[in-house]
Structure 1
Amino acid sequence: MFIRQCHRIKNGRRHAYWALVESYRSASGPRQRVVAWLGKLDEAGRLGVHQAAEVLAGSDEVAPGVTADQSQPLSRQMRFEFDDDASAVTPRWVEVNAAGVRVENLRQFGGPWMALHLIRTLQLDTFLSNAIPEGRELVGWDVSSLILIIARLLEPASELFTAEQWYPKTALRDLLGVSEERVNDNRLYRTLDQLLPHKDALETHLKNRLGHLFDLEYDLLMYDVTSTYFEGQAERNPLAQRGYSRDNRSDCKQVCIGLVVSRCGMPLGYKVFAGNTADVTTVEHIVETMEARYGKSDRIWVMDRGMVSEDNIEFLREGGRRYIVGTPKSMLKKFEHELLKEDWTSIRDGLEVKVVPWPGSDDPDESEDCNTSPETFILCRSRDRSKKEEAITQRFEKKIEESLIRMTARCDKQKRDPMKVEREIGRLLGKNTRAAKLFDVKVTKTDDGAARIEWSKIEATRDWATLSSGCYLLRTNVSDWSDEELWKAYIQLTEAEAAFRIHKSDLSIRPIWHQKEDRVLAHIFVCFLAYVLWKTLGQLCSKAGLGDEPRRVLAELSEIRSMDVVLPTRTGPEIRTRCVSKPSDHQQILLEKLSLKLPSKIFQKQM
C-alpha cells in the first residue's frame, strides 16, 4: 500500500488531495485500487498513514468473517478496513463541523451481504470460478452470474431493470468490486449464455454440498410438474407450446417444468419440457435422468395422481423401483364398501387412514388383471378436505340448479331452438364440472318444434359424492412401512408444490419475456439457483431455531444499509468513510442466532 496525490479543479483553483492505494494481482493482470480518500494531509499526517500501511501490509492476519481457505490477497487490507480495535492504530484527533456532517450514497447492504454469505456457504462462487473459463473480459462471467442469482433472490426483474435500477442501489459494487459502469443488460444476457452449459454439473455440486452441510437424506424423492407462460409469440422456441396451463393463461404459450425435491423440499434437479407435454409422459425421462446422475440407491419415488398410468407403474416395477403414488378419483369407486366400514386408524384429529386389499383379490382371475406384483392400497379420509369439497360441490350445484330453473321457465314462455338450448346447457355443465354429474338433463322437441327441458338430480350420484368427499387413495409397493408412514411420505409432495409457489411468487419465474430457447432455459436455471439459496437460508434458520420460513428473515436483514459518512473538519478537508448501519435489536438477534457478524465498515474495491 502507498499514498498517492490526486488533484481536482474547484472554483478555478487546483486542489491537492491524498488517497491510500493498494496494488494487487487479478486474473487480468496487476491492478490498483483506492482504499480510502484521505483529503488534505500535512507531512506528519502523510508519514503516519504511510507507517500504518507498512505495518498492516506485513501482517498475516485474516480478515474478520473470512476463513483461511477463503482468504485472498485482499485479506490484509480488509483487516485494515474492518478492524474496530482502536489500539490497532494510534488515533489522530481532528475538530469536526457538526453542522456539516452528512450521509451520502445510501445503499442496500443486508440483502446482498446475506446472499453472498449463502453463496460462499454453498461454495457456488468457487465452482463458477473454476467451471467458467476466463477470457479477456474485465469482469469474469462467474461474478456476473452471481449478480444475476442475487438479483433473482432479492428483487426479481428483467436484466435491464437489474442493471440500470437495482444494481446501482445496492452495495454489490463494494462486495463484488464491480462498478455500475461495467454492469449492463447486454452483459447480463451474455452471462445467461455462459452459465447454462454448466447446469448438470452445478446441480450435482449443490446436491452434494447441501447433503454435507445439512446431513440430508435422499431416500424419498418427490416429483411434480408445473407450467410457466410466455409474453410474446416465442415463434423460434420449439418448447413454447400451448397446453394445460396451471396459471390460467391458456391464451399464452408455455413450457412445463418437472422438479425433483427431497423430503424437506431441497431441490435436486429439474427438467424443462415442451408446453404441450402430458405429465404422465415425463416420468420415465426424469427418473432415468436422476438415476444416471445420482444412482438408484433404494430410493422411493412419490408422485401425485397426474403422473400415474399403468405404463408408468410397470416402468417403476421393472426397474425394481419403489413408489408411493396417488390414484385417479375413479379408482376410489372400487373401494366403496371399505369406505362404509369403521375400521379406520386415526393419525391426528380429522385424518384417518387404513390399508385395504385390492377388491376381488380373493378371485385369482381378477387379481391377475390388476396386480402383477405385491401392492398396498391406502385409503385416506380428511375431515377438512371433506368440508372443502362439499362446499365447492354445493356452490356449483346451486349455480347449475338456478340456471336450469331459469332456462326451463324461458323455454315455457318462448319457442326456442332445441339445438341452441342444448349448446347452452353444455356450456353450463362445462363451466361447473364439479357438480355436472349430479344432474340428468334432457332437451326434447315439442310438436311445434320448440325446446322443452326436463331435468332431475341423480340421488345415487349425490350419495356417492357425499360418501367419497374428502377421501383419496394411495398406491405403493413399499411393504415395510405402516399406513401412517406411507401417508406422511405422500403428503411431503406439498414440498414440491411449495417450491413452485415460491418460484412463481417470490422469484417471479413467470411470465417469461425471453424468446430464444437457450435464454429461456437459462432464465429458469437462474430461478432454480435462487431457490437453492432460499432453501439454504431456510435450513440455516431451522437449525438456529428460527423456523423454516426464510422470507421474513431475508426481509428483515434487507433493511440494513451501507452509507458514506462525511465529516467536514475545522481545517477544511472532509473525512469520508463507508459504514454499515447499526442493526436494530431484532436484526441483531437474527444475526446472533445465525452466528453472523456485520462489518462496521466496507472495504472498497473496484473493477
Structure 2
Amino acid sequence: MYLRRNRRRRGKWDYDYWTLVESVRTERGSRQRIVATLGKVPGLNKEERVGWEEVAGVLNGRPKPEADLFEKEDDIPQWANVDTRRVRVERLREFGSVYLGIILWKRLKLDDIFERLQREGREEIHWADMFVVLTLARFCKPSSELAIAESWYEKTALEDLLGITVDKVNDDRLYRGLDEILPHKDEVCKHLQERYTEWFGSKFDFLFYDVTSTYFEGECELNAQAKYGYSRDKRFDCKQVCIGLVVNLEGLPVGYEVFDGNRKDVTTLEEMVELMEKKYGQAQRVWVFDRGIVSEENLDYLREKGSRYIVGTLRDELKQFEKELSEKNWDEVECGVEVKIVGHPEHGEEKFVLCRSHGRAEKERAMLKRQLDKLTDEFEKIKKGINEGRLKNKDITKIDRRIGRWQGRYTKAAAMIDVELIKDGERLVDLKIQRRTEKLEWAEKANGCYLLRTDLTEEDPKKLWQVYMQLNQAEKAFRMEKSDLWMRPIFHQKTDRVQAHIFICFLALAMYKSLELWMASKGLGNSPAKLLEEFKEICSMDVVLPVKDHNPIRLCVVAKPDNHVQILLHRLDIKIPNRPKVVRNVVETLAV
C-alpha cells in the first residue's frame, strides 16, 4: 500500500487530502483499490508552541512539561524597529527528512547503544555523532563521504539539531568514523532485535534468508573478498562480494554476513545458521529460503540442529508430481493462485506444497512462445540458405557454431527443438527442424507451477504458502539497499571500509523498515520513500531582520508545512519547532 496525494477545488478554495491505495490482483490484471481516505482530522489546526530548546524532548518522545504556576514565560516578544524592505532569508536548509531520521535513530535507541559501546578518546567530535551523520546521509540522500562533507551536510539542518558545525564535518573524519563503527556490528544487531520486540512486538520464530551480490568500481586489490562471480546486477566484468541477509516475518533486518564474491549461495547456509545461533541463541526457528540455497546436505543439517524449514525446490522435481498437477482438488489462496499438499513415499514426514499461479503461467507461456518463434525463424533462415545453395559450400563447423549461438541465446526454446544437418557425403543438403512434442506438453502443464517443501506439522497449504511468500521481504530489503540506499556500486577498496559501508547501509535499512512498520501502524501504508519525499519539503532558514540603531537580528525558523504534510505529521504525532530561535552569530548551534 502507498499514499497518493489528491487535491479538490471547491469554489475558491483548494483542499488537499491523502488516499491509501493498494494494488490487488483481479481476473483482468492488477488494479488499484482505495483502502482509506486521510483527510482533515480533529486537532490538526491546534497549535502547540514548540521551541528549539524543546527539540531534544520531542525527539526522545518526552511530552512538553507543564509550566509551573509561578514560572516565568520565556516567550516574551522583543520589540524593535525593523526595516521590512531589507528583510532577507539566508541559509535555506533541508529540515524534514533529517528530523525524521533523527527521530527514528532515537526510537531505535541507536544513540544509547553507541554511547555505551564507543569509548571516548581525544577526539574533538564524539564518534557516536559521526555515526549519526553517516547513517542519516545514507537514509536521506545516499552519497559518498566526500559529497557529505563538501555539500550535503551544510544543506541540512543537522548543524542546528546535532550541534556539530559544518567545518567539523570533513571527509577524513567521516572515513575514520567508518573505521570506528565496524567493531560494534554484532552488539548493534543484537540490540536492534531487542528494540524491534519492544517497539513493534516482533517475533523471530521465522527467519527468511537470501543472498545477493554487489559490485565494485576499481580493481579492489586490497580486498581479499572481492572476486569475480555470478552477478545479480549483470556486471560480470566487475569484482563483487556476496551478502547474506536474514529478516523476520515483518521484513525487519536481523543480521547479515559478507562472503567472497565467488561463493555459491548453497554453501553459505551452515555458516549463517551458526553465526545466528552464536549471536542470538539456539532457539528452534523456522528457516525459509529459496531453491538457490536448497540442497539435501543443507536440509539434513537443519534437521540435525532441530530447526524447521519451508523451502522452494528445483523445477525438475515437479516431474515427480505430474499426476497431481492434472487433478482438480486445488485450494484457492488468492485470486489466480491455487495450492495443495501432496506427499512423497521417499521423504517420510516431509510435505510438498504444489502451487499454481495463472498469471505466472501466462507470463511463462508468452516468454516461451517468443523464444520458440525467434529460434524457429533463425533456423528457417539457415535452412533457406542451405536449400538455395548459399551455404552448401561453407564449412559445416561454421554452420554448427551458428546454430549453437542461437541455441545459447534462447536456451529454453532450444530444449524444445531438435535440429539436424542433413548431408550427402561431404555436401550439405538440408536442415531438419522438429519440435519435441513431449517437452512442449510438459512445459504447458508445468507453466506457472512451483513446489515448496517443508517439515512443519501444519496441514493447511494456504498458511504454508503465505509464510513462504514472505520471503519476498528479504528480496524487497535487497532492492531497498541497492536502489533507495545506493549500496551499489562500492567505491571503497579496503576490506574493513567495505564492511563498514555495508554496515551503514544495514543501519539505514533498519531505519527504513522501522519507518514502514510505523507508517502501517498509523494507517499510512508501507511506502517510506513517498513519506520521505514529502518531508523534504519542510525547510529551515535564517530570517535576517535589519534593526534601526542595532545589529541585524537573525532568527532560525522552520517553515510551516503545507496542509497535506501537516496531515502526515499529525498522523505520526511528530511535532516540529514552530518558535524562532535567536542566532547570535551564524555558527551558533543547538546541541541535542
TM-score bin, normalised by smaller chain: 0.7 to 0.9
CA shift for structure 1 position 571: 3.0
Q: In the alignment, is residue 555 of structure 1 matched against residue 550 of structure 2?
A: no
Alignment equivalent of 1:282, drawn from 244, 262, 268: 268
Q: Give the corresponding residue for 1:424.
A: 402
In angstroms, what is the RMSD of aligned CA positions? 2.4
Report the residue type matching 1:383 in the other structure: H
Deviations 1:151-203 (A, max 9, x none): 00111111111110111111111111111111111111111110001101100
Report the residue type matching 1:222 in the other structure: F
CA distance, structure 1, for counterparts of residue 59 and residue 102 of structure 2: 16
Alignment equivalent of 1:605, drawn from 585, 589, 592: 589
**TM-score, normalised via structure 2 length:** 0.86
Q: In the alignment, is residue 400 of structure 1 matched against residue 375 of structure 2?
A: yes
CA distance, structure 2, for counterparts of residue 531 and residue 440 of structure 1: 49
CA distance, structure 1, for counterparts of residue 249 and residue 370 of structure 2: 36
**Residue pair 2:96, 2:539 contacting (<8 A) in 1 also:** yes
CA distance, structure 2, for counterparts of residue 439 and residue 304 of structure 1: 30
CA shift for structure 1 position 557: 0.7
**Residue pair 1:63, 1:79 contacting (<8 A) in 2 also:** no
Q: In the alignment, is residue 348 of structure 1 matched against residue 334 of structure 2?
A: yes
**Residue pair 1:417, 1:450 contacting (<8 A) in 2 also:** no
**Residue pair 2:458, 2:464 contacting (<8 A) in 1 also:** no
Q: Give the corresponding residue for 2:493.
A: 515
Deviations 1:487-511 (A, max 9, x none): 0000001100100111110000000
Deviations 1:62-110 (A, max 9, x none): 95354499699xx99x999xxxx99534433222111111100001111
Instruction: Go from structure 1 to structure 2 and tell me whether the alpha carbon gap of 1:421 and 1:244 turns closer, same or farther (over 3 Å shift).
Output: same
Q: Give the corresponding residue for 1:441.
A: 419
Q: In the alignment, is residue 125 of structure 1 matched against residue 111 of structure 2?
A: yes
Q: Counterpart of 2:217 in 1: which secondary structure?
A: coil
**TM-score, normalised via structure 1 length:** 0.84
CA shift for structure 1 position 546: 0.3
The number of residue pairs the alignment matches comes to 529
CA distance, structure 2, for counterparts of residue 317 and residue 329 of structure 1: 23
Report the residue type matching 1:196 in the other structure: L
**Residue pair 2:58, 2:575 contacting (<8 A) in 1 also:** no
Q: In the alignment, is residue 306 of structure 1 matched against residue 292 of structure 2?
A: yes
CA shift for structure 1 position 583: 0.8
Q: In the alignment, is residue 502 of structure 1 matched against residue 495 of structure 2?
A: no
**Residue pair 1:509, 1:524 contacting (<8 A) in 2 also:** yes
**Residue pair 1:389, 1:469 contacting (<8 A) in 2 also:** yes
CA distance, structure 1, for counterparts of residue 280 and residue 445 of structure 2: 43
**Residue pair 2:205, 2:285 contacting (<8 A) in 1 also:** yes
Q: Give the corresponding residue for 2:44.
A: none
**Residue pair 2:60, 2:103 contacting (<8 A) in 1 also:** no
Q: Counterpart of 1:164 in 2: which secondary structure?
A: helix
CA distance, structure 1, for counterparts of residue 76 and residue 453 of structure 2: 74
Q: Give the corresponding residue for 1:170.
A: 156
Deviations 1:4-53 (A, max 9, x none): xxxxxxxxxxxxxxxxxxxxxxxxxxxxxxxxxxxxxxxxxxxxxxxxxx
**Residue pair 1:565, 1:579 contacting (<8 A) in 2 also:** yes
Q: Give the corresponding residue for 2:183.
A: 197
Q: Give the corresponding residue for 2:12.
A: none
**Residue pair 1:421, 1:443 contacting (<8 A) in 2 also:** no
Instruction: Go from structure 1 to structure 2 and tell me whether the alpha carbon gap of 1:138 and 1:409 turns closer, same or farther (over 3 Å shift).
Output: same
Alignment equivalent of 2:242, drawn from 244, 256, 259: 256
Q: Give the corresponding residue for 2:512.
A: 534
Alignment equivalent of 1:378, drawn from 353, 357, 360: 353
Report the residue type matching 2:474 in the other structure: A
**Residue pair 1:64, 1:79 contacting (<8 A) in 2 also:** no
Alignment equivalent of 2:97, drawn from 111, 126, 131: 111
**Residue pair 1:302, 1:324 contacting (<8 A) in 2 also:** yes
CA distance, structure 2, for counterparts of residue 201 and residue 90 of structure 1: 47
**Residue pair 2:325, 2:445 contacting (<8 A) in 1 also:** yes
Structure 2 unaligned spans of 5+? 1-50
**Residue pair 2:59, 2:102 contacting (<8 A) in 1 also:** no
CA distance, structure 1, for counterparts of residue 75 and residue 379 of structure 2: 88
Q: Give the corresponding residue for 2:456.
A: 478
Choose between structure 1 and 2 for higher RCO, CA contacts under 8 A separated by at least 6 residues: 2
Q: Counterpart of 1:305 in 2: which secondary structure?
A: coil
Q: Counterpart of 2:567 in 1: which secondary structure?
A: helix
Report the residue type matching 2:508 in the other structure: A
Q: In the alignment, is residue 524 of structure 1 matched against residue 502 of structure 2?
A: yes
**Residue pair 2:91, 2:542 contacting (<8 A) in 1 also:** yes
CA distance, structure 2, for counterparts of residue 199 and residue 505 of structure 1: 23
Q: Give the corresponding residue for 2:468.
A: 490
> Superposed, which structure 2 residues align to 1:45-124 within 5 Å?
64-67=54-57, 87-124=73-110
Instruction: Go from structure 1 to structure 2 and tell me whether the alpha carbon gap of 1:451 and 1:509 turns closer, same or farther (over 3 Å shift).
Output: farther
Report the residue type matching 1:271 in the other structure: E
Alignment equivalent of 2:277, drawn from 285, 291, 294: 291
> Superposed, which structure 2 residues align to 1:228-243 within 5 Å?
228-243=214-229
Alignment equivalent of 2:138, drawn from 138, 152, 159: 152
CA distance, structure 1, for counterparts of residue 267 and residue 430 of structure 2: 45
CA distance, structure 1, for counterparts of residue 414 and residue 492 of structure 2: 40
CA shift for structure 1 position 416: 2.1
Q: Counterpart of 2:250 in 1: which secondary structure?
A: coil
Of all paired residues, the percent bearing the same amino acid is 44
Q: In the alignment, is residue 564 of structure 1 matched against residue 525 of structure 2?
A: no
CA distance, structure 2, for counterparts of residue 276 and residue 504 of structure 1: 19
Q: Counterpart of 2:219 in 1: which secondary structure?
A: coil
CA shift for structure 1 position 469: 0.2
CA distance, structure 1, for counterparts of residue 265 and residue 66 of structure 2: 55
CA distance, structure 1, for counterparts of residue 314 and residue 93 of structure 2: 53
CA distance, structure 2, for counterparts of residue 254 and residue 299 of structure 1: 31
CA distance, structure 2, for counterparts of residue 346 and residue 422 of structure 1: 48
Deviations 1:241-276 (A, max 9, x none): 111110011111111101000111000000111011
Alignment equivalent of 2:195, drawn from 191, 197, 209: 209
CA distance, structure 1, for counterparts of residue 134 and residue 238 of structure 2: 26
Q: Give the corresponding residue for 1:466.
A: 444
CA distance, structure 2, for counterparts of residue 451 and residue 309 of structure 1: 47
Structure number, greater radius of gyration: 1
CA shift for structure 1 position 451: 7.4
Instruction: Go from structure 1 to structure 2 and tell me whether the alpha carbon gap of 1:487 and 1:89 turns closer, same or farther (over 3 Å shift).
Output: closer
CA distance, structure 1, for counterparts of residue 53 and residue 167 of structure 2: 28
Q: Give the corresponding residue for 2:39.
A: none
**Residue pair 2:356, 2:449 contacting (<8 A) in 1 also:** yes
Alignment equivalent of 1:391, drawn from 354, 366, 373: 366
Q: Counterpart of 2:214 in 1: which secondary structure?
A: strand
